[in-house]
C-alpha cells in the first residue's frame, strides 16, 4: 500500500468552488450553505435530516467530487439553530461569497505510511 496523503487548509480556488456550487444546483434540491471555521456547511432543504445514502445521495457525490480540494461538510437541519437562519440557498452562493465568509480549500501538506500514527510521522520526518 502507498503512503497516505495528509490534507491541510489552503486557498479555495474558483474552479473548485464553481464545480461544487453547480453540482447541488443540478440535483433539483434547494440546499442551503453557511461557512463555519473555513468549512462550507451544507444543510438539507426545509427542516430535516440529511440522508446521504438515500434522498441526498447526489449531494454526497457532489461532496466527493471536490473532497481533495474543498472542505465541505453536511449537517442536519432538524433542530432550531441560529446558523440555519444565516444560511443562504446554494443557488445564490458565489465564489466571492464563499471567500467573504471565510471558506477554505484543501491541499496536500505531507504524507505518512499506512498504520503510522501522525505523531510518529512528525517525529520521523
Q: Where are the domains of the chain?
A: 4-124
The pLDDT of residue 103 is above 70: yes
Which of 74-78, 79-83, 99-103 shows the lowest per-residue confidence on average (mean pLDDT)?
79-83
DSSP-derived letter for residue 74 is E
- Give the residue, 110 or 96, on which the prediction is more confident: 96
At the second CATH level, the architecture of 4-124 is 2-Layer Sandwich (3.30)
C-alpha 124/C-alpha 120 separation (Å) is 6
Q: Round the average pLDDT of the chain to a whole number and report it.
A: 87
Angle (CA) 89-72-20 rounded to 5° is 60
> Does residue 104 contact residue 11 with C-beta atoms inside 8 Å?
yes
Amino acid at each position: 500500500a502507498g503512503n497516505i496523503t495528509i490534507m491541510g487548509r489552503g486557498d479555495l480556488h474558483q474552479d473548485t468552488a464553481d464545480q461544487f456550487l453547480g453540482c447541488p444546483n443540478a440535483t433539483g434540491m434547494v440546499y442551503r450553505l453557511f461557512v463555519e471555521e473555513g468549512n462550507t456547511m451544507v444543510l438539507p432543504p426545509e427542516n430535516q435530516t440529511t440522508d446521504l445514502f438515500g434522498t441526498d445521495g447526489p449531494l454526497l457525490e457532489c461532496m466527493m467530487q471536490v473532497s481533495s480540494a474543498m472542505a465541505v461538510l453536511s449537517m442536519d437541519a432538524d433542530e432550531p439553530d441560529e446558523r440555519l437562519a444565516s444560511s443562504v440557498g446554494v443557488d445564490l452562493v458565489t465564489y466571492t461569497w464563499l471567500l467573504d465568509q471565510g471558506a477554505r480549500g484543501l491541499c496536500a501538506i505531507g504524507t505518512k505510511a499506512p498504520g503510522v500514527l501522525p505523531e510518529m510521522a512528525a517525529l520521523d520526518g
